[in-house]
């Protein structure tokens, strides 16, 4: 951390700042320039609280040198993590995010019933997807809307996994449900509305299943990575980021899908990055183009809402593609992936 003093700051002001630094158990290193003085703060990052200096007389600004997300940050520029879900423990395909292969998670927004999720699972598998999604616990804006089937929905997902071999990805809403959801799911999803529910994040850090961490709809990338620290610092290294669109003034889409988040996140973190073009646009007809663009931008996976009959979907039908659209899209995704040195093999899951 560097404290930049104002050009008019007195020696007394600088000494006061140095005293504050030492009171925090840190070492001060003032550098006196021709026009102004800066004070470098050396020591344990956890003790550094920049806000304490902002009010001190003579301080112009406080600059952080290191990122506040030590576990999510890259140790070297090339570092990339691979996060694997499924496998023998849940008798499902092994699917990895962050390797050469770019997996596709597909399925309905909500688990509507056992038959429906099996049908959706079979359709996703036939189209060539690699994992099955479906919400058993649904975060709804309106309390009177369908809230999901809860544990029954998790059981339905497990049946669909058994029928298809696809690992399952499903959302967890509360810290008290983490153990329950972790018992069924191959990957726990943290939704956009819960992305700064720190107790939930801590609970997800304290269980073994990988986590699909969605970006909050008004969250900066910096905040997203700090939120991930809650999971990583609990000992769970299986974190996959998901850009699902943010709120802007733009109204031709439900959210604004920030594809530049992919290379920027890869610049800052070793964690894999998944793109959700369904919530990112809110419109099924925009999903294929954005999915292809996401792979071209270097994403490590896609999460796509697919419904056997979108006009009858209980939730998010407008942004759900049909199995036919997904089946047509999958080979195109592979061609784009090949063009950027990756692969998205239709229906093939591979250990990387």
Furthest C-alpha separation in the chain: 75
149 binds ligand PEP (CB under 6 A): no
Which part of the chain contacts ligand PEP (CB under 6 A), choosing from 9-17, 19-27, 189-197, 266-274? 189-197
- Which of 186, 194, 69, 57 lies closest to 131, judged by CA? 186
Tell me how far, at minimum, the Cβ of 178 lies from ligand PEP, in Å: 16
Which part of the chain contacts ligand PEP (CB under 6 A), choosing from 142-150, 190-198, 261-269, 335-343? 190-198
Query: 4: which strand partners?
Result: 38, 61
Q: Looking at beta carbons, which residue is closest to ligand PEP?
A: 191
**Residue 235 contact, options ligand PEP, Mn ion, none, Cβ 5-8 Å cut-off depending on partner type:** none
176 token code pair: 């008290």
Ramachandran assignment for 9, one of left (phi > 0), alpha (psi -120 to 50 degrees), beta (any other): beta
Phi and psi at residue 211, to the nearest 5°: -125, 130
With contact defined as beta carbons under 8 Å apart, do 216 and 187 qualify?
no
Which part of the chain contacts Mn ion (CB under 5 A), choosing from 89-97, 109-117, 123-131, 251-259? 109-117
Coil, strand or helix at 39? strand
Q: Which of 58, 148, 167, 191 binds ligand PEP (CB under 6 A)?
A: 191
316 binds Mn ion (CB under 5 A): yes
81 binds ligand PEP (CB under 6 A): no
Q: Which of 17, 62, 105, 109 binds Mn ion (CB under 5 A)?
A: 109
With contact defined as beta carbons under 8 Å apart, do 277 and 257 qualify?
yes
Q: Which residues bind ligand PEP (CB under 6 A)?
A: 109, 135, 139, 191-193, 214, 244, 279
Q: Which residues bind Mn ion (CB under 5 A)?
A: 109, 316
């Amino acid at each position: 951390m560097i404290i930049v003093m104002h050009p008019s700051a007195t020696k007394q002001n600088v000494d006061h700042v140095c005293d504050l630094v030492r009171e925090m158990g840190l070492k001060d290193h003032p550098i006196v320039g021709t026009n102004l003085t800066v004070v470098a703060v050396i020591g344990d990052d956890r003790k550094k609280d920049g806000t304490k200096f902002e009010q001190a007389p003579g301080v112009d600004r406080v600059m952080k040198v290191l990122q506040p997300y030590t576990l999510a940050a890259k140790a070297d520029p090339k570092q990339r993590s691979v996060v694997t879900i499924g496998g023998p423990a849940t008798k499902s395909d092994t699917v990895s995010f962050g390797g050469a292969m770019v997996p596709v998670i597909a399925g309905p927004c909500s688990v509507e019933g056992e038959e429906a999720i099996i049908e959706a699972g079979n359709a996703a598998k036939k189209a060539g997807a690699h994992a099955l999604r479906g919400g058993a616990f649904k975060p709804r804006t309106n309390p009177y809307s369908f809230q999901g089937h809860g544990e029954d929905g998790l059981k339905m997902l497990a049946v669909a996994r058994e029928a298809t071999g696809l690992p399952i990805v499903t959302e967890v809403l509360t810290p008290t449900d983490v153990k329950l959801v972790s018992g069924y799911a191959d990957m726990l999803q943290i939704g956009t509305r819960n992305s700064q529910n720190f107790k939930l994040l801590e609970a997800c850090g304290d269980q073994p299943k990988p986590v699909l961490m969605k970006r909050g709809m008004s969250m900066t990338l910096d905040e997203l990575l700090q939120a991930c620290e809650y999971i990583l610092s609990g000992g769970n290294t299986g974190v996959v980021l998901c850009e699902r669109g943010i709120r802007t003034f733009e109204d031709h889409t439900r959210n604004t899908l920030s594809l530049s988040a992919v290379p920027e996140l890869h610049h800052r973190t070793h964690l894999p990055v998944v793109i959700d073009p369904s919530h990112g646009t809110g419109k099924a007809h925009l999903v294929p183009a954005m999915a292809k663009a996401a792979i071209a931008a270097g994403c490590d996976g896609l999460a796509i809402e697919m419904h056997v009959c979108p006009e009858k979907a209980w939730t998010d039908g407008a942004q759900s593609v049909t199995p036919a659209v997904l089946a047509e899209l999958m080979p195109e995704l592979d061609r784009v992936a090949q063009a950027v040195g990756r692969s998205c093999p239709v229906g093939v899951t591979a250990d990387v």
